Structure 1
Amino acid sequence: MLPHTIKVACSNCNLRELCMPMQLDQQELERIDEVVATRKSIKRGASLFRSGEKFTSLYAIRTGFFKTTVATDDGREQVTGFQMAGEIIGLDGIVSDKHSCDAVALEDAEVCVMPFDRLEELSREVNALQHHVHKIMSREIVREHGVMLLLGSMRAEERVAAFLLNLVKRLHARGFSRSELVLRMTREEIGSYLGLKLETVSRTFSKFGDDGIVEVKQRHLRILDADALQRIVNPQVCH
């Protein structure tokens, strides 16, 4: 069955400032509207694209949450990232014209489809768009470096604290609460992303709860002491 597609308009989208450059005039926005022709609905648990598939488009997440995963040599699933509304997904395919990971919806989601050849064509004419595409790519590189740093040098508590602070910061930029969130991913998926065992993630959440830093009820999480989380990530250096 064909995915549900409808005409989309970037110019009227409330997420525009998150995934489109701000300094576009009305005419340039209308041209982008023509490129971003359709929206696509993805059911929870379904894939937006799979590793090895031909790369044709970038996707702006309009609603919902995704995880990207790669298969390890021994067949396990390694989570490489979590993406939310207002973020662009699919950049992994630019290098080799094939996707290098799977993108799976963690809840029912909707994406705007941006055919890459048309986006490239238009970005040669609209400087702000070209700059924006480069900025998105750069942000992805910086994010990957951040993850490598996280996995390379941090203890379990630091990793989980950094993950929660990053998540709540990104959600806050989208108008959500600075302190309350629903975890769309499982503890196991968080562990896979952070390079930790499931038990370690669960134990760390429990410890944060006991210390009065967070309150966890199944997938609902409330940050009670953001400063304490920040101190775990960046402990004061003693002189």
Structure 2
Amino acid sequence: LTQAVFPSQEKEVRKWKEELLDQRRRMMEEKLLHAEFKRELQLQAIVKKAQEEEAKVNEIAFINTLEAQNKRHDVLAKLNEYEQRLNELQEERGRRQEEKQARDEAVQERKRALEAERQARVEELLMRRKEQDARIEQQKQEKERAREDAARERARDREERLAALSAAQQEAMEELQKKIQMKHDESSRRHMEQIEQRKEKAAELSSGRHANTDYAPKLTPYERTKQCSLCNVVVCTHKMYS
């Protein structure tokens, strides 16, 4: 806006300077006219004084009187001419003043129009900036919501993976416990078979040494528990005999 208005302002300043110089020139001309008029009046006064001084001489006084009248007529004519010229200058000054006032009003009107245009552009720019800020804020909120949704989705996926991993671990643990139990059951079964075999062998030996079964050794059952060293699970075994 400043670059657009500056040439017009420079032109108006140049015109204003020209008018000021013209006004000063006219004032100087008026001063010169007044000075000339004063000189004429002074000259007239000097002549009049000389005429009055020479009035005592008859012939010279008469001649001086005629000359004084002629000069007075000339001075009055010049005075009228000066007054007419002064009136013309005053009229010209008034006309120029009116023209200057009209130009000033036109300049002010142009300034007001330019200011209105500038204000309209500023308001439009502010509106565009406001809309842009609103779009940026909306995009920011949308990105934030998308980020939160993605974070929730990642958290849900992580929880699902953890749940699946926990389920897999639980299933693996249960499978391991089953295998341990199966091995333990198999070991207990073999142990029981060995005990039965020992019992049978002991019974055979006992029946050979003792005719009466009342003196045969008795087998006393007892409870026995074991703990898995891998999963720290206590496993109850079958009843054993001693």
Q: Could you state the TM-score of these two structures normalised by the residue count of structure 1? A: 0.19
Larger Rg: 2
Q: Highest relative contact order (Cα 8 Å, sep 6+), 1 or 2?
A: 1
- Give 1 or 2: higher helix fraction: 2
Q: Could you state the TM-score of these two structures normalised by the residue count of structure 2? A: 0.19
- Give 1 or 2: higher strand fraction: 1
